[in-house]
Structure 1
Amino acid sequence: MKIDDGPVPLSTERLLLHPLTVGEAQRIVAQVPGGEDRWGDGYPTGADVAGARGFLNGWALRGSPGPFGAYEIRRRADGVAVGGIGFHGPPDAERWVTVGYGLVPSVRGLGYATEALRALLACARAQGAAGAKGDADLANVASQRVMEAAGMRYAGEDERVRYYRVEFPPTA
């Protein structure tokens, strides 16, 4: 089913992927919670701040990204934000998206990143993307394993990063 009324939260067994609003992204960049924000210890990380900046820049250039934006990873049990995940922008001319994600150190190793990435990939597929790409630093074996566990496959490397991708079967 396509999302026509803007992004909706993506739910998994243990997580809620909450679509960022402009206000939330601005607070992440400023690193100052407000309103109903519930941030876990160490959130936002530098990567979350960079992701929120990218989200705001994309919003300024293209308007709402719809479902192809940034999401805050929240634990369903308590609503606390423990990381971020999202798309680097809308699908390209070949209908491929690029994904990125990260978690605060205190929740790494619990399977949250794989769970969140699977949900994000399912969203991309449901929205008509042809596939998804991602990368991880050569030394970041944990992130490489996350992409593999979520169904992405090794697609090459350079002197800095390993590349992963998954092609979605055509939908009827």
Structure 2
Amino acid sequence: MGDLVTTRLVLHPLTAAEAERVVAGTPDAGDRWAPGYPTGGDVLAARRYLAARADCGDPRPFGNFEIRLREDGRAIGGAGFHGPADADGGVTVGYGLVPSARGSGYASEALRALLGFARAHGATRVRGDADHDNLASHRVMTAAGMRPAGQDERVRYFEIGWGDEETA
């Protein structure tokens, strides 16, 4: 599986070795990390990816991606899926950027690429969520085409679907 390339970004599928370096916070000589990378969210996602690999093998195509700037290859965050598609073809997505990369539309650009990727790989629905006070993430998901799909006491849910039960 190759990189997903957008206008300004490269979403690079993490390998096990790259995920281990993210968890350790220790870049290899070939890694180009922006200041602040990896964030706590990147470490959590890399741990989840490594646990999934250990439990059931490589979760691709619904694995994790490192978000890199096309102009210089620096890693500025991560995005990916929380696991394989469920019985109905639904997947859950997450993303995050280092603080210096926020506010430039990178998260929406990365999320749009992931949504297209999910659809092309047979997903029928993509879900995401964000804390109630994380208005920036709400805007990212709506800018990428996801719609509000409910809430609980902690988070607001968003989703987009394709097929007979299409919601977007």
Q: Does 1:104 align with 2:98?
A: yes
Alignment-derived partner of residue 25 in structure 1: 19
TM-score normalized with structure 1 length: 0.94
Query: Is contact 1:48–1:83 with CA below 8 Å preserved after alignment?
Result: yes
Quick one: distance in 1 between partners of 2:29 and 2:3?
Answer: 19
Per the TM alignment, residue 70 of structure 1 is displaced from its structure 2 partner at its CA by 0.2
Secondary structure of the structure 1 residue equivalent to 2:43: helix
Which amino acid counterpart does residue 103 of structure 2 have in structure 1?
Answer: G
Q: Does 1:142 align with 2:147?
A: no
Which stretch shifts more, 133-142 or 28-37?
28-37
Alignment-derived partner of residue 118 in structure 1: 112
Quick one: distance in 2 between partners of 1:35 and 1:19?
Answer: 18
Alignment-derived partner of residue 33 in structure 2: 39
Q: 2:87 aligns with which of 93, 103, 107?
A: 93
Query: Is contact 1:38–1:81 with CA below 8 Å preserved after alignment?
Result: yes
Quick one: distance in 1 between partners of 2:99 and 2:71?
Answer: 18
Per the TM alignment, residue 156 of structure 1 is displaced from its structure 2 partner at its CA by 0.6
Moved over 2 A (4+): none
Which amino acid counterpart does residue 10 of structure 1 have in structure 2?
Answer: L
Alignment-derived partner of residue 68 in structure 2: 74
Which amino acid counterpart does residue 77 of structure 2 have in structure 1?
Answer: G
Q: Does 1:61 align with 2:46?
A: no
Which stretch shifts more, 60-69 or 144-153?
60-69
Would you say how many aligned residue pairs link Structure 1 and Structure 2?
164
Which amino acid counterpart does residue 32 of structure 1 have in structure 2?
Answer: T
Per the TM alignment, residue 66 of structure 1 is displaced from its structure 2 partner at its CA by 1.7
Which amino acid counterpart does residue 51 of structure 2 have in structure 1?
Answer: N
- CA-based RMSD: 0.8
The unaligned stretches of length 5 or more in structure 1 are 1-6
Q: Does 1:49 align with 2:8?
A: no
